[in-house]
Amino acid sequence: MPGNRTTRSCALLVTLALSALLTACGGGDHTGGGKVTLRYTWWGNPDRAARTDQAVALFKKKHPGIDVQTSFAGYDAYKQKLATQAAGGDAPDVMQLDYRMIDQYASGGVLLDLGERSGVLRTDDIDQGLLATGRLDGRQFAVPMGRGTEAVVYDATQWKAAGVPLPKADWTWEEWADAMRALAKRTGKPGSTDPGQSEDAFEVWLRGQGKSLYTEGRGLGFTADDLTRWWTFSDGLRREGAVSSAEQTTQLDGSVENTPLGRSTALSDFNWDAPSSGYQAIVGEGLTLTPMPRAEDGTPGQYFKPSMFIGAGATTSHPEEAAKLIDFMINDEDAAKILGASRGIPVNETIRKNVVPVLEGFDRTVATYQASVEGKLNAPPQAPPSGDSALQNTFTRDYDQVSFGRMSPREAAENYITEAKAELR
Amino acid sequence: MTTTDIPVTPARRGGATGPKRPGRPGGRRREGAAWVFLSPWVLGASVLTLLPMAVSLYLSFTDYDMFNAPSWVGLRNYTQMFTEDPRYWRSVGATLRYVVIAVPLQLAVALAVAMALKSMRRGRAFYRSAFYAPSLLGASMSIALVWRAIFNDGGTVDNLLGTGGWVNRPEWALFAVALLTVWQFGAPMVIFLAGLQQIPGELYEAASVDGASRWRQFLSITLPMLSPVVFFNLVLQTIQAFQVFTPAFAVSAGKGGPADSTLFYTLYLYDRGFVASHMGYASAMAWVLLLAIGAVTAVLFRTSRSWVFYADEEGR
């Protein structure tokens, strides 16, 4: 064969190139021209990205010896990537974490004990109760960055145009459902994202009934009957066209752009308060927050939770610098001005006092909203057990079977309970 | 494929070729040189393939969450997979449906295009590259994302055909992913083209003299003469199809939806391993997949005896 020799030399070249690449991967990490380089990863929307990049630029200016490489993704993609990196012993130097990740990551030895870096990282100004949520076995594995709570996000302009009365702060799930029906009837668009797929929305509803997702012994805090009732409720609304269709709901991927409200095919959504700013670029100035519906007897299910945490990788070669970056993100006055409420209302008391009054735009909406529910919510549940991260997806997938008409709410609920028990074993 | 392809046998030391020449210079050195040149491959194969395989086999008998040390559970992962996990069987079903739809369709398109190119007189090189390009691009995430946009509601297909989105309907999503595979017909096409060019032209001339129609010629000459190439492509593409991951991952945002309709085996494996942190279970799934692919390939080889025709077999 005439081409044989060329093929072989090519193959050899490719092999050599690959070996060279492998070697390069092994050694070429932390030094970029005598500088220390930190990897900082987080999840969020483009708005948070712009502000984070600005804050990081300021950090680099204040610390010329430290370079920071940031990367971000939507929540679902971020969660998967971080798990993969952590498993491979390649966790980023500094990373944003969720309440649901703390238990698993800290007990798995992925996170650095930040208490050992208290010389650089100051935590005196943080509410002690909130700070404790990042602690496990007496060690501070992560520091909360902000406080958040869930909300119904809606476009007040469109609601008014449709002639539907704006929601009252103490509305119940039935009143909410009636509003969705009215919106669908007047505008031809579903009123909201189907809440059936969301474990978060279910939790609020469940807590309104006096129950919880998990018991203190890491078991399930509800029965198949509870879940059947919830899914029957949401499935009925979907069949009426009051909430988004299965085809729309299935496209949710954790980013606001792919929600029905973000795609302009519905008029409201459920979300955490701060990340709702992402809708603004799509929906416009009418974007407003209102509390989650309550149970019929007025019990609220909603609660304040540490909106996200920041932590450092246990394997980082630069724990000192990583702690400096964390300190900057939480305690620096200038950074706080840039970041605003993009990660929830700041946890640092001094900064909160200084920042909240000067907040602008949607940050102001978030602050006002939080003030309006202050003192009216019940205490938060304890941090969810580690199997919960997978169960969030299971919840959505099992409801998919309901909304596409492949299972009854009862069948899907029993399915979920079986899977959850296996997961929490 | 003709007999000229047989690789040149490497020089053998002593033994069968004759008496060993005492003190032959360079014998050892040549062996050493061989190892030096082989070392990247040996290193790659052992460190990147054999070792991980051994570890994965061990993990498949353990409960391992990636953070804590693995604990031995014997066959529990396997029994759980076969008897207690309905979602596992849904992933098997989705994968089989996909293989059965995508592979034959892809091979048919590849063969049709190869035949069109063969009869083409001008610009063959251009079209050959143009049709091959998708095979290079297709495995990438970006193309899969573009695919999702095209087949989403409000996307190109929706606008042209008014059928609504494909990727958000359980009955259509699998088909959208299969089309992405079919579109990457370049690699089998190039192989088909090479095979077509090996068929002696006299056969066709003789057939047309006898008044055989085009279709008749295709059935009686092209297909039998091409059968070794068809077989080769079939085995290769089937093995690849069983391992499909990227398109389904991107099209369903990593979830295998809607309603588990694109929950391919590898996607569920990834989900168990990296999302739910059950590495032991995922490893067990990987080994079952390996055995299943091995079994399917063996079956293909067995059936091939009755339909694959090699020119040099004549009179045997």
Range of the domain at B282: 85-313
Instruction: Give chain A's domains with CATH numbers.
Output: 31-148+306-371 (3.40.190.10), 150-302+387-423 (3.40.190.10)
Would you call A250 and B271 a contact, using CB atoms and an 8 Å cutoff?
Answer: no
| pLDDT one-digit tens code per residue, B81-96 | 998 888 999 999 999 9
pLDDT band, residue A360 (cuts 50/70/90): confident
| pLDDT one-digit tens code per residue, A116-138 | 888 888 888 888 878 888 888 88
pLDDT band, residue A398 (cuts 50/70/90): very high
Say which of A247, A253, A404 has its CB closest to residue B253.
Answer: A253
Would you call B67 and A86 a contact, using CB atoms and an 8 Å cutoff?
Answer: yes
pLDDT of res. A99: 84
* Nearest Cα to Cα of residue A130 among A353, A336, A305: A305
How many Å lie between the alpha carbon of A137 and the closest alpha carbon of chain B?
16
Query: CB contact, 8 Å: A89 with chain B?
Result: no
How many Å lie between the alpha carbon of B80 and the closest alpha carbon of chain A?
10
pLDDT at B8 over 90: no
Say which of B40, B80, B256 has its CB closest to residue A19.
Answer: B40
Question: Which 330-389 residues of chain A touch chain B by CB within 8 A?
Answer: 386-387, 389
Higher pLDDT, B263 or A26: B263
Is B64 contained in some domain?
A: no
Average pLDDT, integer, range B298-307: 90
pLDDT band, residue B11 (cuts 50/70/90): very low
Give the burial string for B170-206 (b: 16+ CB within 10 Å, else e). Answer: bebbbbbbbbbbbbbbbbbbbbbbebbeebeeeeeee
A34-48, A291-305, B139-153, B195-209: least confidently modelled range: B139-153
pLDDT at A101 over 70: yes
Assess contact for A177 and A231: CB atoms under 8 A.
no
User: Which residue of B145, B277, B278, B283 to mutate against A (max A Cβ within 10 Å)?
Assistant: B277
C-alpha torsion A138→A144→A149→A155, nearest 10: -160
Q: Give strand pairing partners of A271.
A: A151
Query: CB contact, 8 Å: B47 with chain A?
Result: no
At a CB cut-off of 8 Å and minimum separation 6, what does A126 contact?
A143, A144, A330, A347, A348, A349
Say which of B4, B170, B274 has its CB closest to residue A84.
Answer: B274
pLDDT of res. A19: 47
pLDDT band, residue A94 (cuts 50/70/90): very high
Is B34 contained in some domain?
A: no
Is B151 contained in some domain?
A: yes
| pLDDT one-digit tens code per residue, A169-181 | 889 999 999 999 9
Is B47 contained in some domain?
A: no
Would you call A107 and B170 a contact, using CB atoms and an 8 Å cutoff?
Answer: no
pLDDT of res. A8: 46
Residue A306: cis peptide before it, omega within 30 degrees of 0: no
pLDDT of res. A30: 43
Is B73 contained in some domain?
A: no
Is B107 contained in some domain?
A: yes
Proportion of chain B above pLDDT 70, given as a percent? 89
Residue B129's CATH number: 1.10.3720.10
| pLDDT one-digit tens code per residue, A140-188 | 999 998 888 999 999 989 889 988 889 988 899 999 999 999 999 998 8
pLDDT of res. B4: 42
Closest-CA residue of A relative to B6 is: A1
A366-370, B24-28, B284-288: least confidently modelled range: B24-28
Average pLDDT, integer, range B50-79: 90
Assess contact for B287 and B81: CB atoms under 8 A.
no
How many Å lie between the alpha carbon of A314 and the closest alpha carbon of chain B?
12
Partners of residue B87 in chain A, C-beta under 8 Å: 397, 419
| pLDDT one-digit tens code per residue, B136-194 | 776 677 777 788 888 887 777 777 776 777 778 888 888 888 888 888 888 899 899 88
Assess contact for A224 and A185: CB atoms under 8 A.
no
Assess contact for B144 and B251: CB atoms under 8 A.
yes
* Nearest Cα to Cα of residue B134 among B118, B147, B122: B147
Q: Taking phi first (over 0 means left), then psi (-120 to 50 degrees means alpha), and beta for anything else, what does residue A163 get?
A: left
Count of structural domains, chain B: 1
Say which of A12, A109, A401 has its CB closest to residue B259.
Answer: A401
Average pLDDT, integer, range A285-305: 90
Partners of residue B7 in chain A, C-beta under 8 Å: none
A305: three-class secondary structure by DSSP = strand
> Strands A150-155, A287-290: parallel, antiparallel or unpaired by DSSP?
antiparallel
Is B77 contained in some domain?
A: no
CA distance B193 to B185: 12
Average pLDDT, integer, range A60-76: 89
Is B192 contained in some domain?
A: yes
pLDDT of res. A329: 92
Would you call A248 and B168 a contact, using CB atoms and an 8 Å cutoff?
Answer: yes
In a 10 Å sphere around its CB, with 0-12 CB exposed, 13-18 middle and 19+ buried, how is residue B80 labelled? middle
pLDDT at B55 over 90: yes
Reported ipTM: the value is: 0.76
Would you call A107 and B68 a contact, using CB atoms and an 8 Å cutoff?
Answer: yes
Segment (H or E) for A153 = strand A150-155
